[in-house]
Amino acid sequence: MAVDALDTRILRLLIEQPRTSVREYARILGVARGTLQARLDRLERDGVITGTGPALSPAALGHPVLAFVHLEVTQGHLDEVGDALAAVPEIIEAFSTTGGGDLLTRVVARDNGHLEDVIQQLIQLPGVVRTRTEVALRERVAHRLLPLVEAVGRAAGPG
């Protein structure tokens, strides 16, 4: 899906001012409300916009420990293990990967003891051969997409 300059401006506004109304976005951008709504609908339909909910802090929810747990899985059991991971609330993301493991999970915990309990739960899943854990010490670059949106917009050229 091609993202043009107007799409880029829309996405920037959504990131920078997520609680603004569609009418206000249209006013800021100098486009008709119908044009803006059609663009938003297309961006959602094409999978560019994947959600509109609030960003939540696991730390503020009492889970300040963040770890990345790599899981090595017995061949042929990747889907089963992936399904089992979805039942563990402390796993906030999981990805199939290449390299040193088969799955990479992002895990949050109340403290190091709780993290160990979660890891022990993962090790006991049928199909998990071993795990390797890396504890995050400090976030250096927060999750962000605006620089990517701006780069895509520059590549698209004037619209």
Question: Is residue 83 classed as helix, strand or coil in its secondary structure?
Answer: helix
Instruction: Tell me the DSSP string of 124-155.
Output: TSTTEEEEEEEE----SS-S--HHHHHHHHHH
Per-residue pLDDT at 159: 55
pTM for the full predicted model: 0.85
Per-residue pLDDT at 156: 76
Residue ranges of the chain whose pLDDT lies below 70:
1, 158-159
